[in-house]
Amino acid sequence: MILVVAVLVGLAAGLCRAKYGKREYRGYDLKAAGLVLLAFIPQGFIFFLPSTRTRIPDETASFLFIISLVVLIIFSLFNIRKPSFWPITGGFLLNALVILLNGGWMPISPEMVQRLLPDSTAGDWMVGERLGYSKDIVLLPENTRLWFLSDRFSLPDWINYQVAFSPGDIILFVGIVWLLWSLGGPKSVNV
């Protein structure tokens, strides 16, 4: 959910930029946008809908998640020619790569889980198992392929919001803000 903040921040910045420059906020023509809707449907059932995510076995969820990622990769290829979409695509592909190489889940270390869930008790989570109904699987760093691309960052303690995120998530965040900011700029800028 934290990445939705990037959309809000980028939109606000872009709209302010357009208003300040007395320009119209430009539209952006994404190709094959229907693929995103198609890819989100299984993820909605697996991760977001409480009534369905508790009923789908992890193996099925992982399979559907991978299919969803493949659909998103196809969508990214359709839009690869748009320079402003490169960081977004890059961030997503880094996430997809580490997920695909680790059995269809985003790795997170036990140390990070303990940091985020200090009150959790034995049995709440286990190494080698999916973490709740999230996209994450708890793996030791030495058993993680491309560990440096996993959910290994967290916010400073003084921020009262506990979240772990990956380098791909950071690039996604920056890319979304940049794209939405650029749409408030002059038309001569190629986006």
Partner 1 sequence: MKTISNKARFVFFVLVLVLFTLAAGAPFATGTVGG
Under the criterion CB under 8 A, does residue 18 sit at the interface with partner 1? no
Q: Which of 56, 164, 177, 178 binds partner 1 (CB under 8 A)?
A: 164
Q: In the bound complex, what is the minimum distance in angstroms from residue 77's beta carbon to partner 1?
A: 14
Taking the C-alpha atoms of residue 66 and residue 86, their distance in angstroms, rounded to an integer, is 21
Cα separations in angstroms, 66 against 4, 22, 62, 121, 151:
22, 44, 6, 30, 18
Residue 109 interacts with partner 1 (CB under 8 A): yes or no: no
Give the closest residue to 116 by CA, choosing from 63, 51, 163. Answer: 163
What's the rounded Cα separation, in Å, for the pair 81 and 136? 31
Q: Does 40 bind partner 1 (CB under 8 A)?
A: yes
Enter the tokens of residue 34.
């229907």
Which residue in the set 62, 109, 144, 166 belongs to the binding site for partner 1 (CB under 8 A)?
166
16, 19, 21, 36: which one binds partner 1 (CB under 8 A): 36
Q: Is 136 exposed, middle or buried (0-12, 13-18, 19+ CB in 10 A)?
A: buried
Name the residues that contact partner 1, by CB under 8 A: 1-4, 6-7, 11, 25, 27-28, 30, 33, 36-37, 39-40, 43, 47-48, 50, 53, 68, 72, 75, 88, 91-92, 95-96, 99, 106, 108, 116-117, 131, 133-136, 151, 161-166, 168-169, 172, 176, 179-180
